[in-house]
Amino acid sequence: MSGASRRERQIVGLVGFLCAAALPVVLWHRAIAVVATDFRLEFDYLLTGWLGYGLIAGGLLLLVPVVWSAGRRPDTRLYPRARKAYMGWGVSLYILGFAVAAQVAASV
């Protein structure tokens, strides 16, 4: 994608981010509804029921600066200096959350 324009890179980044945000809801809307309707303030419940979705949300939150800086030059003011770290942590948390959420959905 080195030949793509700045605008194309921004669109691809935004579409990818929106797809990554929508995927857990599309895949596990029933499991999320079951976990949400049986809500209780217990450590085991919060850890097992919501941990995966929390990790996914944390990963998406860390990916926001990466998406925001898509197509920008590294010497601009809005380009995060730790962009690669944000990308690494965001993707790692998202994948870990995805694995945990899949386990929760399989047990519901």
pLDDT, tens only, 57-90: 999 999 999 998 888 888 888 788 898 999 999 9
**Phi-psi region at 4: left, alpha or beta (left = phi > 0; alpha = psi -120 to 50):** beta
The answer to whether the beta carbons of residues 2 and 76 sit under 8 Å apart is: no
Average pLDDT of the segment spanning 18-44? 88
Residue 24 belongs to what H/E stretch?
Answer: helix 6-37
User: Quick one: pLDDT band at residue 108, thresholds 50, 70, 90?
Assistant: confident
Q: Three-class SS of residue 5?
A: coil
User: Quick one: pLDDT band at residue 99, thresholds 50, 70, 90?
Assistant: very high
